[in-house]
Amino acid sequence: MPGTETDLLARVITGDRGAFDSIMRAQEDRVFSVCLRILGDRDNALDATQETFLTVFRKAGQFKGDSALGTWIYRIAVNTCYDQIRKSARRPTESLPDHLEPPDASAEDAIDAAGLRPEIERALAGLPPEFRAAVVLSDLEGMSLPETAHVLGIPLGTVKSRVFRGRRLLAERLGNQTAP
Amino acid sequence: MHDHDLDLIAALADGSLDDQTEARARVESCEVCRVEFEAQVSVLAALATIEPLRMTELEKAALHRDLWTELRNEPANEGSTTPWWYRLSYAAAGLFVVVGLVAVANQLGGSGDAGGQAETFTEASGPLGDGAEGVAEAPREEDGAQSTGTTTAGDASAETTPDFETLAAETREGELPAAERAVATAGQAECLSAAGLVEHELKGTVERDRTYLIAVPAGVDLDADTPVSFVDADTCEVVHVEE
């Protein structure tokens, strides 16, 4: 773990709010992105992001340093999202079209400009949660397969299988737009 | 196809293979493998077109505000490693308060000499040092009427708490009387961060029973929907926060 992360977390443990704020600012966008991709709903993703950082603050003393701080935070984020999915007891994809976009016009313009994006987002949101999480972390967030396995808390072989099958399902759902 | 083939095809598609020889050979010799490979490549190309997802500045401001509001109401985090001697000092101070209260109660029940009570209380607080004296002072001020000092301090401030909702409305409408405002200092701006109101800017201060800082989300023009928060300028604690 980089020295700055060690120092920051040590300061968080002693109650240093500035240190915690630095960690949060460095990770919040990526945590939110992961949560939104997994949950498919903007409000739920914001709730999960907040819950993630509350957990990070509360459990800062439990971080063992056997991975990057970011990896540990993403693992908390993914588990928080899974908890939300379990609690909601329904597939989160139902509300995707209404809530994925931020509520301001400039961002909606950016989405329109992305062309294929809405179809891809819907196809992604339609994947089973465990496949979606693997594809999101590996192919969208750019994590290595071992890092993805660590975040998801599953064996490397399982991650490889989920990524492959997740992509295959996406190809089927995207049909002629992307499949060969 | 075996799992090994799937792993090879996936890795070839995302470019994570150092040596692509075996994977290339497999794809070229097996029609099913080739179709799988092309499907993987096309999906990765599609995923690459997706824009990054980000919070808006308003969402970030709300996240930070809500998070710090939540954390402010919590005790130290689980990982806190407060030294034993430090915890012991709290216990000693607490014990001292109890002993002091008993002493005060005994005095009240006897001669009723208020000056003697205070003097006795102050003398007893000496050996525990400044920190313990600070804890012991509250019961002396409330004249022994309550079991703890903090309750009275809270009640006293509650009695003079300004109407923050009205102040917030006046701030939004630009109707806060100039005479009630003071020029904010650089130190007061830092107080907002200490209070957890990051992504906020200092809009001014208002003088009531004490000085309060007026905070609004940074870069946002004031309108009827702008959330306005207030921070105690002395303690840097949020005293009123709006969604």
Contact residues for A32 (Cβ-Cβ < 8 A; gap 6+): A45, A46, A49, B53, B54, B55
CB contact under 8 Å between A180 and B39, yes or no, is yes
Strand B238-240 versus strand B229-232 pairing type:
antiparallel
What is chain B's mean pLDDT, rounded? 68
The string of DSSP letters for B30-73 reads -HHHHHHHHHHHHHHHHHTTSPPP---HHHHHHHHHHHHHHHHT
Lowest model confidence (mean pLDDT) among A57-66, A93-102, A164-173, B42-51: A93-102
Distance between CA B43 and CA A172 in Å, rounded? Answer: 10
Nearest by CB to A163, from B10, B49, B50: name it: B10
Residues of A in contact with B43 (CB under 8 A): 167-168, 170-171, 174, 178
Task: Give the separation between CA B149 and CA B154, rounded to whole angstroms.
Answer: 9
Say if the Cβ atoms of B70 and A54 lie within 8 Å. yes
Inter-residue contact B179 to B149 (CB < 8 Å): no
Question: What is the CB-side half-sphere exposure of residue B180 using CA atoms within 13 A?
Answer: 16
Token readout for A22 is 């630095």
Within 10 angstroms of residue B138's Cβ, the number of other Cβ atoms is 16
Instruction: Decide if A28 contacts B60 (C-beta within 8 A).
Output: yes
Alpha helices in B48-143 (DSSP H): 57-72, 84-109, 114-125, 129-141
Judged by CB atoms closer than 8 Å, whether chains meet at B74 and A58 is answered as: yes
Task: Provide, rounded to the nearest whole percent, the portion of chain A with pLDDT above 70.
Answer: 79
Q: Does B40 touch chain A (CB under 8 A)?
A: yes
Distance CA A134, CA A146 (A): 11
Q: Provide the shortest C-alpha distance from residue B198 to chain A (in Å).
A: 9
Mapped onto helix, strand or coil, the DSSP state of residue B212 is strand
CB contact under 8 A, B79 and A33: no
Name the pTM for this structure.
Answer: 0.55
CB within 8 Å: A50 and B9: no
Query: Which pLDDT does position B160 carry in this prediction?
Result: 64
Beta partners for residue B214, in sequence order: B204, B230
E strand or H helix at B21, and its extent? helix B21-29
Interface of B with A in 148-207 (CB under 8 A): 193-194, 196, 198
Query: Which residues in chain B are closer than 8 Å to A140, comparing Cβ atoms?
Result: 47, 50
Q: Is B29 helix (H, G, I), strand (E, B) or coil?
A: helix
Rounded to the nearest 10 degrees, the angle between the axes of helix A69-88 and helix A3-13 is 60
Confidence of residue B163 (pLDDT cuts 50, 70, 90): confident
Tokens at residue B219, please?
Answer: 């870069």
The predicted structure's pLDDT at residue A23: 93
pLDDT tens for each residue of B186-195:
667 777 776 7
ipTM of this complex: 0.79
Q: How many CB atoms lie within 10 A of CB A171?
A: 24
Taking the CA of residue A90 and the nearest CA in chain B, the distance in Å comes to: 23
Q: What CA–CA distance (Å, rounded) separates A17 from A142?
A: 30
How many residue pairs bridge chain A and chain B with CB atoms within 8 Å of each other?
A: 148
- B74 contacts in chain A (CB < 8 Å): 58
Residue A32 or B172, more confident: A32
Range from A64-73, B43-52, B66-75 carrying the lowest mean pLDDT:
B66-75
d(CA A66, CA A60): 14
Q: Which residues of B touch A36 (CB under 8 A)?
A: 53
CA neighbor of B17 nearest in space, from A160, A81, A110: A160
Q: CA-to-CA distance for B146 and B101, rounded, in angstroms?
A: 9
Confidence label for B50 from pLDDT (cuts 50, 70 and 90)? confident
Nearest chain A Cα distance for residue B80, angstroms: 5
User: Whole-angstrom Cα distance, residue B54 to residue A102?
Assistant: 9
